[in-house]
Every structure is written in C-alpha cells, then in structure tokens.
Copies of this chain bind each other. A is one copy, B any other.
Amino acid sequence: MSYTPSTESLIKALQILPGIGVRSAQRLALHLLERAPDDAKSLNHALSDALSKVKKCPSCRTLTESPLCEICTDEARDSTVLCVVISDADKEGLELSGHFNGRYFVLHGVLSPIDGIGPEQLGIWQLVDKLTAADNSVTEVLLALDDQMESDATAYFINEQLKKLKIECARVRFSQFKSGTLDKADSRIIADAFANKQSLGFEHD
C-alpha cells in the first residue's frame, strides 16, 4: 500500500518548493486532496494564470505582465542610475522606502555553480549588453546585494564586467537584511545605505 500514483506525483512535485521536504510535501498534498479540494483548485488556477501571464521584463528582468515593466516605461525615473538586486522582493522593499528613483535590474538569484546558476542564468550578459548598447544612458550601477558569501561573489563578478565598460559601480549594503527581507528594513536604513554606498571604483584613465 502507498498513496495513489497521482498523489505520489503531487508529493514529489511539491518538493520543488524551497524548504519543503518529503514529509511536509506529504502533509501539504494530503491537506489539499483531503480537506481543501476547492482551495486546491483555486491554487491550481492561480498558478496556471501566473505562469502564463507573468514574464520577465526584457529590459530589466522584473516580473511583469506588460511588454515592458512599469518602472522601465516610467519617464519620471532617473535613467542614469541602475540598481542591481537579487530578487523582485528586494526591488519591492526599495520601492516601498521611496529612496531610490533610478531603474533596476533583477538577477533572480546569485551565482551558484553547484546549482548550475552562472552569469547566463542571472542575465549578467544581458546586463552587459544593455550597458554597451548604443542607446545606453546608465552612468552608475549600484549593486544592492546582501552580505551572503554567494552575493559577494556575484557582486565581485558583476563589478569585474563593469570595470571593462568603465561604468561607475558601487555597493549598497543593507547589513542584517538578507535578500527577500528588505521590505522589513525601515526607510531610514535604506536611505543610509544609499547615502553610504561604497564605490568599487575602476581605474579612471
């Protein structure tokens, strides 16, 4: 005896969620099928809907349902400063604070060779192309990544690419805030971090 084949498949599929192991997945699958089939249908519909509608903005990789995201189309934003963040959640945190009026570039992760996440998966070559395009207006890139080891390595790698382009690059540090928790940082902490950005400098000619 064991669970039905479709139940077992669902238990396996739920384990793709971060932090969900086999026992949690069993618990979630049985909850959905035993007690909450209507909720499960809503979840299925919401997931299907989001998967078909939500895309990455071709210019900045923010999740969007429009051909170009709201910030990239907003003429009032400063197009000379580009803030690189790990996740849409971080961008949301910065937007909530109201202390940044430039544009963003969202990596959706950090370099992690062991997980097969390299510069290509993070859009770093796309970032380089964007900054070398004929119509590029960005003169400063702010790396608003957290202090985790992989984030530091990612910031270092991006800075190495930007040095070649001779674009000013600075690190904006929000100590104590891991990626995804920036919306918990109060507005003053975010303002301070931008004010105290650390230039990663390139050799000016």
Contacts and interface: CB of A to CB of B under 8 A. Distances in A.
A48 B95 CA distance: 36
B108 A10 contact: no
Interface in A15-31: 16-19, 24, 26-31
Interface string A147-185: 000000000000000000000000000000000100000
> Which range holds the interface residue count of chain A?
35 or more
Contact of A34 (B19, B41, B51, B109): B109
A53 B8 CA distance: 12
A111 to B, nearest CB: 13
B89 A27 contact: yes
Given A30-B89, A71-B1, A6 B50 contact: yes
Contact of A53 (B4, B17, B48, B71): B4
Interface stretch (A62-70, A138-146, A195-203): A62-70
A128 interface: no
A155 to B, nearest CB: 19
A33 interface: yes
B43 A47 contact: yes
Nearest to A109: B35
Contacts of A189: none
Given A4-B53, A17-B31, 11 more contacts: A1-B96, A6-B46, A6-B50, A7-B50, A10-B50, A12-B46, A17-B32, A27-B89, A32-B47, A35-B109, A44-B44
Interface of A: 1-7, 9-10, 12-14, 16-19, 24, 26-37, 39-51, 53-54, 63-65, 70-71, 87-89, 92, 95-96, 106, 108-109, 180
